A and B are shown apart, each in its own frame.
Chain A
Amino acid sequence: MTNLLKGCASVIEKLSPLPYGLRQWVGQRLTAVLMIIYLITICVKMVLARPLDFIQWQYIFQPVWMKLWTLLFMLSLFYHAWVGVRDIFMDYVGLLPLRLGLQALVASVLLVYSIWSFNILWSF
């Protein structure tokens, strides 16, 4: 099992055009830009849907492209948060086992959020 994980990790390492660390740095910036663009779309949509009642609200997230775009936004948010929180832990949590435990917790929470987001968007 550990060998399998290590194998996967090294394959990802080899396929990636950027070295470890820089990849997260670039990813955090790219997701930031994507989220800014999404915020502009959702603001425009909400202004156009005024007065914003329940029917209008559902209508905004009804089209498949909007579901996909929103899911992309949410996944970007979670990745962005992952890099940010990991940076914070690396700076302030000196005790390695504690830090790894916290990181594992955050990673699992964000993974659950990802599945949850998909569920929300495709279940109404």
Chain B
Amino acid sequence: MGDGKKANIMSSVKRPKYLNLLKIRLPVPGIVSILHRISGFGLFVITGVILWLFGLSLESKEGFEFALNLMSNSFSKILLIGIFWAFTHHLIAGIRFLLLDIHWGTDILFARISSTIVLVLSVSFTMFFSFWVW
């Protein structure tokens, strides 16, 4: 009887399922995961600007100076720090995911510790970078 009920519930679930982000409460590994996604999307959005600056910096001495000078006002410094955080978090969390993919550190305690390490490292690097930029 139990099985029949279960099958009934299964068939009434509509697929594909879309997630309601507001109903989800996340543990630390989940936070690292969603930040990986958000930072990745942010980096995708900013790619065009970086490519443009990269082109300018190689094209001429003026372009190189222009790209460097663009970094010197507070607004672009804040933006740059944001990009640095997104990049650092995406990189470190990404390395952790690659290790998880080869089944390294998959038990729950270690997963929690390693995800905390990812958060601490990316935030500390970003703080060092902020001091260096300013």
Contacts and interface: CB of A to CB of B under 8 A. Distances in A.
B117 interface: no
Interface in B18-52: 18-19, 21, 37, 40-41, 43-44, 47-48, 51
Contacts of A106: 44
Contacts of B44: 81, 84-85, 106
Nearest to A94: B18
B19 to A, nearest CB: 6
A20 to B, nearest CB: 16
Given A57-B64, A84-B44, A91 B19 contact: yes
Interface residues of A, number: 27
B interface, by DSSP: helix, strand, loop or mixed? helix
A11 B41 CA distance: 31
Interface in A3-58: 29, 32-33, 36, 39, 54, 57-58
A interface, by DSSP: helix, strand, loop or mixed? helix
Contact of B48 (A29, A88, A113): A113
A113 B47 contact: yes
Given A91-B19, A92-B18, A124-B58, A29 B101 contact: yes
Interface of B: 18-19, 21, 37, 40-41, 43-44, 47-48, 51, 54-55, 57-59, 61, 64-65, 91, 94-95, 98, 101
Interface of A: 29, 32-33, 36, 39, 54, 57-58, 61, 77, 81, 84-85, 88, 91-92, 94, 106, 109, 113, 116-117, 119-121, 123-124
